[in-house]
Amino acid sequence: MANILITGGNGQLGQCLASFQALYPEHDYTITDVDDLNICNGDEIIEFTKEGKFDYLINCAAYTAVDKAEHEQVAAKKINADAVKNIGVAAKLNNFKVIHISTDYVFDGRAFKPYSEDAVTIPESFYGQSKLLGEKFLLEEQPDSMVIRTAWLYSEFGNNFVKTMLKLGQEREELKIVADQIGSPTYAKDLAEVVLEVITKIEKDSFPFEPGIYHYSNEGVCSWYDFTINIHELAGIDCNISPIESKEYPTAAPRPHYSVLGKNKIKENYKINIPYWRTSLEKCLKVLVAKQ
Ligand SMILES: NC(=O)c1ccc[n+]([C@@H]2O[C@H](COP(=O)([O-])OP(=O)(O)OC[C@H]3O[C@@H](n4cnc5c(N)ncnc54)[C@H](OP(=O)(O)O)[C@@H]3O)[C@@H](O)[C@H]2O)c1
């Protein structure tokens, strides 16, 4: 039904998307990572997408090392901003739609209620700044694109907080975890499925492609401390966890204290049902614990 190109396919979200091919067999998928298609090379993207005649490009490629980005600013900007501009240029030229993934770190975290899709963006880390620039570049080059901001991604693939806490919980008797940063943990498989659900709804002509900024995370909120307690409880790990403040766990890049995303636009435009974070965590942990 749709010819879909995925960039950054070896990453966490890319692998989640790949795992849904059988569930959405009506589409054709071309899954690439940096060795097949380097998004930093504008000519390569134009050539690749000209030949492939794609309907959609889902961009999962990114520089995601949040702390390292503070001192590797050139590399982070190149991948998170300049390369996204390349994608926008190619999209306009070769006539495909882009669904680009961005982050809650575009916000400063000083809010007390969920950030709406049009809330003022004030990124505090360089990673957040580079991702925000990528959003702007894409929408300037090809306004007929979708940006989906997400948060606190985890899954059975790649490196993520859930896998780290499972490992540390088994190795250590005690852990100290930050309790004053609040967000919404998001199962990357839920996000991957929503992206494919949106494309499928558009292709079936029941819904229009409505460009612009969207937010997607799982429902509900918690702190990293609450999240860890739940990870260990669901995995049957006995570890003593103490809550600490962010200032007791300094990081190179500042983290938003409150980065809850309001998701009204995606829910209303595409009639999406979003699972509660603990329900999805339970699903992911079943897979992870079975693998151990
Ligand atoms: N992880 C989170 O908690 C989180 C939260 C909010 C938003 N997001 C956003 O969600 C998206 C997906 O995140 P993720 O966790 O799946 O990231 P990830 O696991 O780090 O995957 C990113 C992928 O992009 C590839 N890549 C890097 N440079 C590339 C290039 N020049 N050309 C093509 N591919 C390239 C990476 O390859 P290498 O590994 O070889 O570099 C990697 O396979 C990103 O846009 C991220 O900013 C993530």
Asked if residue 108 lies in contact with residue 122, where contact means CB atoms within 8 angstroms, the answer is yes
Structure tokens at 96: 């495909």
Mean pLDDT by 10 residues, the chain (292 residues): 97 98 97 97 98 97 98 98 98 98 97 97 98 98 98 97 97 96 98 98 92 98 98 96 95 96 98 97 95 81
Contacts of 25 (CB under 8 A, 6+ apart): none
Instruction: Give the C-alpha separation, 276 to 185, whole Å.
Output: 9
Residue 292, pLDDT score: 79
Q: Which one of the listed residues 127, 187, 214, 216 is annotated catalytic?
A: 127
Instruction: Give the C-alpha separation, 149 to 131, whole Å.
Output: 10
Q: How far, in Å, from the CA of 80 to the mean position of ligand 1?
A: 9
Integer distance in angstroms from the first to the last C-alpha of the chain?
A: 38
The string of pLDDT tens digits covering residues 205-258 is 789 999 999 999 999 999 999 999 999 999 999 999 999 999 999 999 999 999
Instruction: Give the C-alpha separation, 94 to 103, whole Å.
Output: 27
Q: Is 181 in the pocket of ligand 1 (CB under 6 A)?
A: no
Residue 138, pLDDT score: 98
Q: Is 8 in the pocket of ligand 1 (CB under 6 A)?
A: yes
Residue 279, pLDDT score: 98
**Domains plus CATH for the chain?**
3-159+185-219+255-275 (3.40.50.720)
Residue 172, pLDDT score: 95
Task: Give the three-class secondary structure for 146.
Answer: strand
258 labelled catalytic? no
Q: How far, in Å, from the CA of 63 to the mean position of ligand 1?
A: 6
